[in-house]
Amino acid sequence: MDSAGSIRYSDQEIIEQLRQSGIDKRRSEEELFNRFSYFVREGMTKHALSEDESFNAYSDTILAALENIRNTHFEARASLKTYLFQIFHNKCVDLLRKRTTNKNSVHRPETISDRLMHISDSARSVVQKLIDQADWSRLREKLNEMEEKCRQLLMFWGENYTDKEIASFLQYKTADVVKTTRLRCLDRLRKLYKVE
């Protein structure tokens, strides 16, 4: 137990719980977030970030770590603290760089360009042009307007969870049912987005 009276899990215990589904997973996410939340203060003192900036860097650190732990990219060669601190440090440096360069750039991760990597330049540029013309805020708005079940399915999909994992989280019978329902939701979102 720590001084605040809560149970202190070992790195290995946290990692195992994060790789499971269910209530323990959410608790472990909170445990991980809480354990190193003092990094926020370090970001403020060592990198001269505002509290909001440092909090964002720390939140992004935890999200990146959660994904890497889940898809086993994190091999536990270093302690969680060392691993997280390295990511956090890089995020802080990125933030400082962004401050001085493209302040107004939109945060768009690499997922899109990654997926277009395997097609020819001419085909890619057709899709890229359409993506650049997309009304992102309208799409976000329409996603938020969808019923809870669809929104949850699409958000898990966005987080790169497999249909099998989603089936276990949301208690669907099989991964195939998840896929069919998810694509139906996606189609519904497309129609909502297209209607003027």
Partner 1 sequence: MDNLDYIENFFTGEPGADRTREFEERLLSDPAFAEEVAFYLTALHTSREASRLAKIEQFKEIYRKNRTTGPSPVRKLVFYIAAAAVVADEYPNVPELSAIR
123 is a contact residue toward partner 1 (CB under 8 A): yes
159 is a contact residue toward partner 1 (CB under 8 A): yes
The CA-based angle 91-69-28, given to 5 degrees, is 95
Answer whether 81's CB lies under 8 Å from 104's CB. no
Interface residue with partner 1 among 46, 73, 99, 115 (CB under 8 A) is 115
Q: What is the chain's alpha carbon radius of gyration, rounded to the nearest angstrom?
A: 20
Cα→Cα distances 36→15, 66, 158, Å:
15, 14, 26
155 is a contact residue toward partner 1 (CB under 8 A): yes
192 is a contact residue toward partner 1 (CB under 8 A): no
Q: Which region among 73-81, 83-91, 127-135, 170-178 touches partner 1 (by CB under 8 A)?
A: 127-135
d(CA 131, CA 124): 10
68 is a contact residue toward partner 1 (CB under 8 A): no
73 is a contact residue toward partner 1 (CB under 8 A): no
Cα→Cα distances 154→68, 115, 124, Å:
20, 18, 24
- Residue type present at position 142: K
Within positions 2 to 31, which residues make up the interface with partner 1, using CB under 8 A? 3-4, 30
Q: Which residues bind partner 1 (CB under 8 A)?
A: 3-4, 30, 33-34, 37, 40, 55-56, 59, 62-63, 107-109, 111-112, 115-116, 118-120, 122-123, 126-127, 130-131, 134, 136, 139-140, 143-144, 151, 154-160, 183-184, 186-187, 189-190, 193
